[in-house]
Structure 1
Amino acid sequence: MVLLQIAMKFSLLLTIPCVAFLFACTSTVPSITPNNNVALWQVNSLETIAGAKVSISGDPELVKSGQDQVVRFDGDGDRLLVDANPLGDAQEFTIEIFFNPADAYPNNLEPRFFHIEAEDKPNRRITIELRLNDKKQWYLDAYIKSETSQFTLIDPNKVHPIGQWAHAAVTYKNGEFVSYVNGVRELTGQVEYLPIAAHAKTSIGARMNQVHWFNGDIAWVKITPAALPPEAFTLTK
């Protein structure tokens, strides 16, 4: 009986720190459930994305990347226009995108490869863009605009290699706009985001008005109606 009591006490001592450890590890990462309306856009079709209709400009291609199928843009007129606004009426959000940019310097120095905007309300928009240099490098450019303010997150010193898969993310909450590359926080700024119209569309591969074309591959875009910490990002293809 004494041995049994000792064993039970020992088991309890082991259980308490283990539970505390698990709580500590998970408490910093928000729980993502279907009720959060997370939108995962697999960019692997030229007809629909996440059930939304896609209109094509140019000749984007479906190509294999490992076990996955992705869309390749040639930087010369290729674009997907998705008939959906994945942000909806979110007051805070995270946009993640997984992509592999090609060396398009000097032809395409400023590819705008993700752009949400309503045609009749151009003063509200968000774009995720790249800037290329002559050293086979790129740096991120993220932009929010509304009727009341606008802000660009960009630093030409924060460069990354061309020709490699990369993860970019932006978050917004309570006026704070933050950019990340490969899970590392890069820049932050203050801006007032106002929800983009529900009937807005999303341009992938170019700016909405069909300029500044992207050359490279895009695998997926993920939109979460919460400002996630980088530990909660999806950093793989």
Structure 2
Amino acid sequence: MAKNSISITFLFILLSFVLNGQNLKQTDVKTEWILANILREKSNSIEISGNPQLVSSPYGEAVSFDGVDDAIILNEMPLKSLQGFTVEMIFMPETNAPFEQRVLHIGESKADRMLLEIRAVDSNWYFDGYACSGLNKKALINEKLIHPLGEWYHVAFVVTPKSLTTYVNGKKELTEEFSFLPIETGQTSFGVRLNKVSWFKGTIYKIRISPNQTNPKDFMILK
């Protein structure tokens, strides 16, 4: 009887170890989207609006959006249950573009969500990282932190349970306290807000989502 108890205890410990290992692997998984690959994919979970184009870039093929009606919408929600995350993007905003532009939207259209946005003024743009969690809403934006349009950039939006932080080309721009709870439902859109307003004019090469707070030294490399 004692031997049986020991065996059962051992199996329980082993099973717990395996399950905990599986959970750890799930929380460590990164989501990476190369937009050109998504545009080529034929899937019922992908909606194409307008006519986004495959174009060359310094990094490989990318996708160009016209700022009028081009967008890609995925029936995916990669932020589900994440306590915190880092969203990175390599992109190029174009000149002669609308003022308000939503480049990436993940979550619900009007409820819990996060967005990478830009504002274009004359020949420059400035970054806006936005999060909505329950009744808490915040946009990290400063019209004085401008960058020239027509060039390639790396941007990052770091979300923790207590803060929001934005980066452009590895340099911290803004950070503020914020009470964040996981986003559980929704979809993903590239090139527009999920309700199809505020279209983006420019090119996106790659987006990476890490389920943790990424150190700037570990950001994607911008050549």
Give yes or no for TM over 0.5.
yes
Give me the TM-score of the superposition, normalised by structure 1: 0.78
Q: What SS class does the counterpart of residue 46 from structure 1 fall into?
A: helix
Q: Is 2:195 aligned against 1:209?
A: yes
Q: Report the equivalent of 1:53.
A: 45
Runs of 4+ in 1 over 6 A off after TM superposition: none
Q: Is 2:174 aligned against 1:175?
A: no
- State the alpha-carbon separation in 2 of the partners of residues 204 and 47 from structure 1: 15
Q: Return 5+ residue gaps in structure 1 as ranges.
A: 1-32
Q: What SS class does the counterpart of residue 127 from structure 1 fall into?
A: strand
Q: Report the equivalent of 1:116.
A: 106
Q: Is 2:99 aligned against 1:97?
A: no
* Structure of higher CA gyration radius: 1
Match of 1:68 among 60, 63, 84: 60
Contact 2:32-2:206 at 8 Å conserved across structures: yes
Q: Report the equivalent of 1:27.
A: none
| Distance apart, 1:110 and its partner CA | 0.7
Give me the TM-score of the superposition, normalised by structure 2: 0.83
| Distance apart, 1:197 and its partner CA | 2.2
User: What letter is aligned with 1:228?
Assistant: T
- State the alpha-carbon separation in 2 of the partners of residues 38 and 195 from structure 1: 16
- Aligned CA RMSD, in angstroms, stands at 2.0
| Distance apart, 1:35 and its partner CA | 6.5
| Distance apart, 1:128 and its partner CA | 0.7
Contact 1:47-1:53 at 8 Å conserved across structures: no
- State the alpha-carbon separation in 2 of the partners of residues 131 and 139 from structure 1: 5
State the identity as a percent: 34
| Distance apart, 1:194 and its partner CA | 2.1
- State the alpha-carbon separation in 2 of the partners of residues 148 and 171 from structure 1: 20
Contact 1:47-1:54 at 8 Å conserved across structures: no
User: What letter is aligned with 2:162?
Assistant: G
Q: Is 2:25 aligned against 1:38?
A: no
Q: What SS class does the counterpart of residue 79 from structure 2 fall into?
A: coil
Q: Is 2:212 aligned against 1:222?
A: no
Q: What SS class does the counterpart of residue 144 from structure 2 fall into?
A: coil
